[in-house]
Amino acid sequence: MYRPEIDLAAIDAIDVHVHIEVGEDGHRSLPDELVAALAKYFKQGGPNPDLEGVAAYYRERRMAAVVFTVDSETALGHPPISSVEIIERAADYADVLIPFASVDPLQGDRAVDYARELVLDHGARGFKFHPTVQGFDPTDDAVRPLWDAIEELGVPIIVHTGQTGVGAGTPGGSGFKTRLSNPMLLDDVLADHPALQVVLAHPSVPWVDEQISVATHKANAWIDISGWSAKYFPPQLVRAMNSFLQDKVLFGTDFPVLTPERWLGDFADLDLKDEVRPKILKDNAVRLLGL
């Protein structure tokens, strides 16, 4: 079972949003056509390392990383990378990797049982969800038992919000429905599960004001600012993270589509208070993750 061994004095930042897109056997988490569309959207054609490569990459940069895949088997008809595999392999790099798991919410009771197994038997430190790609509405009564179980397990969830690069630029967006990633849907989840810590992933374009409102109103809501270069952050989000949300905002890149170097370079140019930067880069994640 995974146990974290992170020396907080040895790291300068915690990236809470790192995708493992290549499994041990070379299997990818998305079908080839969606991988190609995603690379085109982000103008990204660089390395896409496996878990071992991710560990080495972040260790060199004095960073820890929350790593995960997304299980969208029902919606995509494409088998996911195994969350068990990710957790077990991450145990060899427990000084730098923090493994989250993913389950398919469309699988009902099976997803609930699997979520419990991933935490209790394997040591998953949280879960990642993508409502648009996984094809589910977070407020659906059929998903509520899953939220109940994860709240009981006491681990956080990271949930994609806003537009997505998956399927972007393809006819019909490959059938993906952006509205499922409106952060207001997660306001219901947060209200009904006050002990469940929910990270609203990415600046929630086009619903940034709604995202700020949810994070302000709900003590159990957080924001990770991954997936966007800081120079494109909406100004109202920058004002919030520099003031009343400074203890609830988390550094994330969306690696490999954005690298820490690119993200941190633009982040350095933001007009932020000196005391806010370490909170975003590391301290807030330490609290959320119980490190």
d(CA 181, CA 221): 15
**CB of 216 within 8 A of CB of 245?**
yes
Q: Output the six-digit token pair for 57.
A: 């990459």
User: What predicted TM-score, i.e. pTM, was given to this entire model?
Assistant: 0.94
Owner of token pair 């989000």: 237
Let me know if domain 8-289 sits in CATH 3.10.350.10: no
The closest alpha carbon to 131, from 90, 202, 180, 91, belongs to 180
pLDDT in single tens digits along all 291 residues of the chain = 888 899 999 999 999 999 997 766 656 656 666 666 566 666 665 456 789 999 999 999 999 999 999 999 999 998 899 999 999 999 999 999 999 999 999 999 999 999 999 999 999 999 999 999 999 999 999 999 999 999 999 999 999 999 998 877 889 988 899 999 999 999 999 999 999 999 999 999 999 999 999 999 999 999 999 999 999 999 999 999 999 999 999 999 999 989 999 999 999 999 999 999 999 999 999 999 999
Q: What is the DSSP letter of 81?
A: P
Lateral strand order in the sheet of 63-68: 13-19, 63-68, 97-99
